[in-house]
Structure 1
Amino acid sequence: MEIMNSGSSQPLYLQLKEHLKRQIDTGELKPGDRILSEAGLVKKYNLSRVTVRRAIEELVKAGYLIKIQGKGTFVSQVAEFEAVKNIRSFTKICQMQGHDTIADVRRAELTEGTEELCSFLNLSPGSQVMLIERVRKVDGVPVVLEKNYFHPFCEFLKMEDLTGSLYEILIEKYHIFPSKKGLNKVEIANVNKEEAKLLKITEGMAVIKNHVHVYDENDNPVHVVEELVRVDQPEIFKYYL
């Protein structure tokens, strides 16, 4: 049994927070790993549940951990992204792990933008935006249902092979560099019948719902991405975290 130093001037929750953070920073806990439950940490470190919960909440807020209802608490890929700043795409992350990816393209077309999309892309209300909707697969398993919204000048993307890395096309062919995340909303959602069919899961199953604003290196808006991500297969789910 490991015990925090109760005689230290540093609060116990901070000691636990720093201890877990060190394990993440050194690679002892890797991206996608599930950490011990609150009860497990209470027993291992001889701490109260309140202390453990506060330490976990601090690490979640800092982006080191992510909590998934019914699944547990996992190490995120924040540190890995920081260490490899030029690798940001889902495709590259999976390739780093030795897995194949491909996308089934459902739509690549102009569509009317919402008020939020038009505002982000600096368009007049009601303007058209370029929509690319895909089902992303890892080793043949559908993992992510995504919708990407671009400025209408990106209509040229309709002519591209969108089954691979979208970012690779943007960077290498058009010199558009998605570099920064702005608004990033993450929540748990339940898939409807159509979404479940596309992801090959049961209707109503819980998934991660992610909504992200992406900018280039000069803080110009690049696109908005909306994703539904499966969490029922940890060996695949960890590549997203």
Structure 2
Amino acid sequence: MASTPPLYQQIQQHLLDKIHSGEWQSNHQIPPEEQLARDFGVSRMTANKAIRDLVQKGYLTRQPGLGTFVTDRKAESSLVEVYNIAEEVRSRGHRHSSEVLIREVIEADDEVALRLGVRLGSRVFHTLIIHLENEVPIQLESRFVNPRWVPDYLETDFTRHTPNEVLVAACPITDVEHIVEAVLPDAQAAESLAIDMESPCLSMIRRTWSGEQLISYARLLHPGSRYKLRSSLHLQAS
């Protein structure tokens, strides 16, 4: 027989259920410790531990004199790292899934040829994939891959493995280039991301190299209301 979770974990699960269901949105003020202690028939110390742990995990934030609030936990990616979006989502305790919209071989047009460093009209692989976090779209990934370096790319089951995983396994990534800008989605992108065409988005152009070889060019589109980008830099003291 399964053991009953400790009381503080029961309180935590209650709070997380409210957050994950969307009933409590970002910046929502949660009930005070005294009320939680009364509702669950526990000591204030137990309620305090439940809240404190969720603060440490980034779900809640305390504001002295005001109370405790739900944190803005937008999906977050690093600007200086090549990340696996599935691992990123799972690191937040959420479920990653994906929908493959396009899987094809195309002839490189002017833009793709320039970005991918191939001749105009060259044969390249293209995929268009929606990445979801707890069933909510957070990224539309349009990726072009040089088949010379990743010949089995299109044979991948992208519902089980992300393009990032495939590229890293085939060619260790040594260099990355990011270009980020704010854009409005076109009709297809808005439909794929379940947003309207007036919703601001973050667009990231990413190119990845393995040694001297340019492996991949991707256009990553994120709903601005669900995503943020982070950058950190360590500077040596002079």
The TM-score by the shorter chain falls in which range? 0.5 to 0.7
Match of 1:225 among 208, 218, 224: 218
Tell me what 2:139 maps to: 144
Provide, for residues 102-137 of structure 1, a one-character-per-residue CA deviation record: whole Å limited to 9, x for no partner: 110011111121234324444222212110110110
Structure 1 unaligned blocks of 5 or more: 1-29, 32-70, 82-86
Q: CA deviation at 1:201?
A: 0.8
Tell me what 2:24 maps to: none
Q: CA deviation at 1:171?
A: 3.3
Q: Does 1:109 align with 2:104?
A: yes
Q: Is the 8 A contact 2:99 2:130 kept in 1?
A: yes
Which has the greater radius of gyration? 2
Q: Is the 8 A contact 1:167 1:178 kept in 2?
A: no
- 1:81-100 equivalences in 2 (<5 Å): 81=81, 88-100=83-95
Q: Is the 8 A contact 2:147 2:153 kept in 1?
A: no
CA separation of 1:223 and 1:78: change in aligned 2, threshold 3 A: closer
CA separation of 1:161 and 1:77: change in aligned 2, threshold 3 A: same
One-letter amino acid matched to 1:170: L
Q: CA deviation at 1:207?
A: 0.4
Match of 2:181 among 187, 193, 204: 187
Count, aligned residues: 162
Structure with more helix by fraction: 1
Once residues 77 and 83 of structure 2 are traced to their aligned partners in structure 1, the CA distance between those partners, rounded to angstroms, is 14
Tell me what 1:45 maps to: none
Q: Does 1:165 align with 2:158?
A: no
Tell me what 2:3 maps to: none
- 1:15-34 equivalences in 2 (<5 Å): none
Secondary structure of the structure 1 residue equivalent to 2:89: helix
Once residues 120 and 187 of structure 1 are traced to their aligned partners in structure 2, the CA distance between those partners, rounded to angstroms, is 17
Q: Is the 8 A contact 1:130 1:149 kept in 2?
A: yes
Q: Is the 8 A contact 2:183 2:200 kept in 1?
A: yes
Q: Is the 8 A contact 1:110 1:152 kept in 2?
A: no
Q: Is the 8 A contact 2:107 2:120 kept in 1?
A: no
Secondary structure of the structure 2 residue equivalent to 1:221: strand
TM-score (norm 1): 0.57
Q: Is the 8 A contact 2:199 2:224 kept in 1?
A: no
CA separation of 1:127 and 1:136: change in aligned 2, threshold 3 A: same
Tell me what 1:54 maps to: none
Q: CA deviation at 1:211?
A: 0.8
One-letter amino acid matched to 2:122: S
CA separation of 1:126 and 1:134: change in aligned 2, threshold 3 A: same
CA separation of 1:89 and 1:78: change in aligned 2, threshold 3 A: same
One-letter amino acid matched to 1:220: Q
Identity, in percent, stands at: 18
Secondary structure of the structure 2 residue equivalent to 1:134: strand
